């Protein structure tokens, strides 16, 4: 036990050293550190801006910094680069990808568009720049319902997450949603029996689920929303206990912002390996060496930018 405590103390000292180094490098590079809610706790601690995909897309547009260090995954850094062509966008670990985004390609999307020539294409931000370039408008889990409602077309091709698409269909019945057979490998790990078991263990807890979860899980939930929506809901709720059906990184800020409340995961399988690749060491390395820069070719960037800006315009009208 004593040896373990010494090891933990050593790790804490090393992390503090890295945080100081990152702070110095950040000033030197005129950089901003943008961090997704699913990142490691210690990475969230150094964030200048943290949030869900929508909040980070908006933050990327507003920042005045010359360098954006994006602690997330590839598609997020691409979006930041698309919206900020004159800035240097860094992804600290170039292997940090998204299996959901990889489930659709621009070639396959073009074939689907040919099958439904009158349909609008809504792409979840969890998609590549090339897929965004083939789409009419983007969405996040925060604004997917508003985005679909904003379209004049009655038929909508929704890519690539089928569970989010099903949820949108349930909220916008006047539209015909054509689903893509993609899914989040993390969120589908939550099963109906996990929720039942968690509710039995914590009978007074509210169940909050991300719309990427399976329909059976959503049916047992008290509230369905994006990660950003979870923060707002928990803050306003009179409940003291919550079962959180999304990636485990969410618990860090939920607990930090709500010290008098308790949070539980329905299963310990809610870990996105790609989101956990970035460490403080990689952030320091990224700032020190200006790696790994994420760029999007001009032709793709221009088309994808319009797709993202249409989404942001819908969100601005709602606000």
Q: What is d(CA 4, CA 24) in angstroms, rounded to the nearest whole number? A: 31
Tens digits of residue pLDDT in 29-41: 999 999 999 999 9
Q: Which CATH topology does 187-264 take?
A: Rossmann fold (3.40.50)
Q: Is 12 left (phi over 0), alpha (psi -120 to 50) or beta?
A: alpha
Q: Do domains 2-96+276-289 and 187-264 have the same CATH topology?
A: yes
Residues ≥6 apart with Cβ < 8 Å to 256: none
pLDDT at 318: 67
Of 56, 38, 92, 76, which Cα lies nearest the Cα of 279?
92
Render pLDDT for 113-172 as a digit per residue (tens, 0 to 9): 999 999 999 999 999 999 999 999 999 999 999 999 999 999 999 999 999 999 999 999
User: Which of 230, 282, 272 is closest to 46 using CA atoms?
Assistant: 282
φ/ψ of 49, rounded to 5, equals -140, 130
Superfamily of domain 101-183: NadA-like (3.40.50.10800)
Q: Which residue has the tokens 């904003």?
A: 150
Say how far apart CA 285 and CA 280 lie, in whole Å: 9
179, 253, 258 from 232: Cα distances, Å: 29, 12, 11
Partners of residue 33 on adjacent β-strands? 69
Residue partners of 182: CB distance under 8 A and separation at least 6: 100, 103, 104, 159, 160, 161, 162
Give me the residue spans of the domains in the chain: 2-96+276-289, 101-183, 187-264
- Tell me which H or E stretch contains 131: helix 129-133
Place of tokens 């606000």: 319
Q: How far apart are CA 291 and CA 284, in angstroms?
A: 10
pLDDT for the residue 1:
47
Peptide bond preceding 292 in cis form (omega within 30 of 0): yes
CATH number of 2-96+276-289: 3.40.50.10800
Q: What is the pLDDT of residue 54?
A: 77
Low-confidence residues of the chain, pLDDT below 50? 1
Distances (CA, A) of 197 to 77, 160, 222, 251, 266: 37, 30, 15, 19, 8
């Amino acid at each position: 036990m004593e040896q373990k405590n010494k090891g933990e103390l050593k790790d804490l000292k090393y992390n503090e050293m890295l945080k100081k180094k990152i702070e110095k490098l950040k000033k030197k590079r005129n950089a901003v550190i943008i961090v997704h809610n699913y990142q490691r706790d210690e990475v969230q601690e150094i964030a200048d801006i943290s949030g869900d995909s929508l909040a980070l897309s908006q933050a990327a547009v507003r920042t005045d910094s010359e360098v954006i260090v994006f602690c997330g995954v590839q598609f997020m850094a691409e979006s930041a680069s698309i919206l900020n062509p004159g800035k240097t966008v860094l992804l600290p670990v170039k292997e940090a990808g998204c299996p959901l985004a990889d489930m659709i390609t621009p070639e396959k999307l073009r074939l689907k568009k040919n099958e439904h020539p009158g349909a609008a294409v809504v792409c979840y931000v969890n998609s590549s720049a090339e897929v965004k370039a083939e789409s009419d408008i983007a969405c996040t889990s925060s604004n997917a319902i508003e985005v679909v409602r904003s379209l004049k077309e009655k038929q909508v091709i929704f890519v690539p997450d089928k569970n989010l698409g099903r949820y949108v269909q349930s909220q916008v019945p006047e539209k015909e949603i054509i689903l893509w057979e993609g899914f989040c490998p993390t969120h589908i790990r939550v099963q109906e029996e996990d929720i039942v078991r968690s509710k039995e263990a914590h009978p007074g807890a509210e169940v909050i689920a991300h719309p990427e979860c399976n329909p059976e899980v959503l049916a047992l939930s008290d509230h369905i929303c994006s990660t950003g929506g979870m923060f707002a809901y928990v803050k306003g709720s009179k409940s003291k206990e919550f079962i959180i059906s999304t990636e485990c990184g969410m618990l860090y800020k939920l607990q930090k912002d709500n010290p008098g409340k308790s949070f539980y995961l329905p299963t310990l399988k809610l870990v996105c390996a790609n989101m956990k690749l970035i460490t403080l060491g990689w952030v320091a390395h990224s700032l020190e060496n200006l790696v790994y820069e994420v760029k999007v070719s001009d032709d793709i960037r221009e088309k994808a930018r319009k797709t993202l800006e249409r989404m942001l315009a819908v969100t601005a009208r709602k606000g």
